[in-house]
Amino acid sequence: ENKLDLERSGVAGHLPGNKFRPDVGGDAYLQNAAAFYTLVFEVEASAGNHDIYYKQVNQDGTLRHVTPIPLATGSNNQSNPSIGSSNGPPGLSNRVLIAWQSTSTLSSGDEDLWGAYVEWNGNLLIPAFQVTSNSRSQRHPSVSGVASIHGTQCQMVAFEDDWVSDNDI
């Protein structure tokens, strides 16, 4: 068992604030010597304001990106990040979805889901976009790996949907 300190005081590129809810995805295409793990996590930027960042880790456990890369920062509270995994060579399945929940700009107390696509090599391919938006809260996203459905690459996002009297998936 190896323990890796990826984001704490004393580690290069460390962000101030507490870190929460890490999730790890990766590039499972092992025929390529350049396959990486991608760590997404939540950072307490200030009281009541959390942001979403990611870092990449090489196969030997060293940091590929020293400084965390921001996905969602600002005045809205972002939390509960989830990342899928890619499963193929560059050009075939070379992106992975990261999803998180964010307080709504439309309604106090409402939460919506947001996402971004990151390439297998850590480049931000498609920046933050809204996944859900309605008067109910959507929380705790869980992102699948990549599937090829009729030649189209897809990823599923499962989440809780708050229907006043109960939550549905």
pLDDT in tens, 35-80: 788 899 999 988 889 999 999 888 888 888 788 999 999 888 999 9
pLDDT band at residue 88 under the 50/70/90 scheme: low
DSSP state of 4: -
CB atoms closer than 10 angstroms to residue 76? 16
CB atoms closer than 10 angstroms to residue 47? 6
H or E element: which one contains 128? strand 124-130
DSSP state of 121: T
Q: Per-residue pLDDT averaged across 147-160, rounded?
A: 84
pTM: 0.87
pLDDT band at residue 124 under the 50/70/90 scheme: very high
Residue 20 DSSP SS3: strand
Burial of 33 (C-beta count, 10 Å sphere; 0-12/13-18/19+): exposed
